[in-house]
Amino acid sequence: MQLFIGNKNYSSWSMRPWVLMTQAGIEFDEVMLRFDGFTPESRFKQQITLHNPVGKVPLLKDEGLAVWDTLAIAEYLAEKFPEKHLWPQDRAARARARSVCAEMHSGFTALRTAFPMNIEAHLPEVGERLLREQAGVRVDLNRIVTMWSELLAVHGGPLLFGPFTIADAYFAPVVMRLHTYALPVPEAIQAYMQRVRDLPGVAAWIKDALAEEEFLDFEEPYRKSR
């Protein structure tokens, strides 16, 4: 299998299946298509559209089949590797895990817009200011804290549904955002965030992201340089 991804410092959507596969021990070849812009003329768009008509990463290729969109990739992997238990084994828990992943997939627009993923950066002043100024950001953060708190309480940790699942991979970029912008969360949520960061698959992604040298101004709304 091949997994096409963008820059690890910035590409939150790419992070999800990469972490999922790495943490679950699913072998794949990484194909890095570095961002240089998202116009039809950009090299990135020209490269990815050769494989994905939507022109976005991530993209999974397996035995001639192209699968795009993070949820579609997650479901494909869960079907192909049932022994990995990528979704919770309990039916009710599995339904809830799918629900919260879908909620992340289509929601939290204010938080994702205000706080783009930037693993290398440390921007607490931006987090403090936008949390104060934007009501939508506060709503999204409160929902995340409530969701994670309830799931950790119901399933007993250490992760959202007990053992590692697609849900933890799906929210790993959110953990990165909360860390970069130092958004205030309860101690129990801080502890969960650290456990996610310590997962071998997440730690490997962070290490690679920190090693990247690209500074992409179109991905950096708050800085002019590193």
What residues contact 93, with CB distance under 8 A and at least 6 apart? 155, 161
Locate 92 and state its tokens.
Answer: 């009710």
**Position 168 pLDDT exceeds 90:** yes
Locate 59 and state its tokens.
Answer: 């993209």
Q: What is the chain's Cα-based Rg?
A: 17
Question: CA 80: distance to chain centroid?
Answer: 21
Beta bridge partners of 82: none
| Contact status, residue 216 vs residue 6, Cβ threshold 8 Å | no
The pLDDT value given to residue 213? 87
For the residues 32-36, what does the mean pLDDT come to? 96
pLDDT digits (tens, 9 = 90+) for 178-213: 999 999 999 999 999 999 999 999 999 999 999 998
Locate 127 and state its tokens.
Answer: 């987090």
| Three-state helix/strand/coil letters over the chain | CEEEECCCCCCHHHHHHHHHHHHHCCCCEEEECCCCCCCCCCHHHHHHCCCCCCCCCCEEEECCEEEECHHHHHHHHHHHCHHHCCCCCCHHHHHHHHHHHHHHHHCCHHHHHHCCCCCCCCCHHHHHHHHHHCHHHHHHHHHHHHHHHHHHHHHCCCECCECCCHHHHHHHHHHHHHHHCCCCCCHHHHHHHHHHHHCHHHHHHHHHHHHCCCCCHHHCCCCCCC
pLDDT digits (tens, 9 = 90+) for 11-22: 999 999 999 999
| Contact status, residue 104 vs residue 166, Cβ threshold 8 Å | no
Q: What's this model's pTM, rounded to 2 decimal places?
A: 0.97
Domains belonging to the chain, first-starting first, are 2-84 (3.40.30.10), 91-208 (1.20.1050.10)
**Closest Cα partner for 130 from 116, 119, 115?**
115
**Closest Cα partner for 3 from 70, 86, 82, 78?**
70
**Average pLDDT score, the chain:** 97
Of the candidate ranges 12-16, 18-22, 171-175, 222-226, the one whose mean pLDDT is the lowest = 222-226
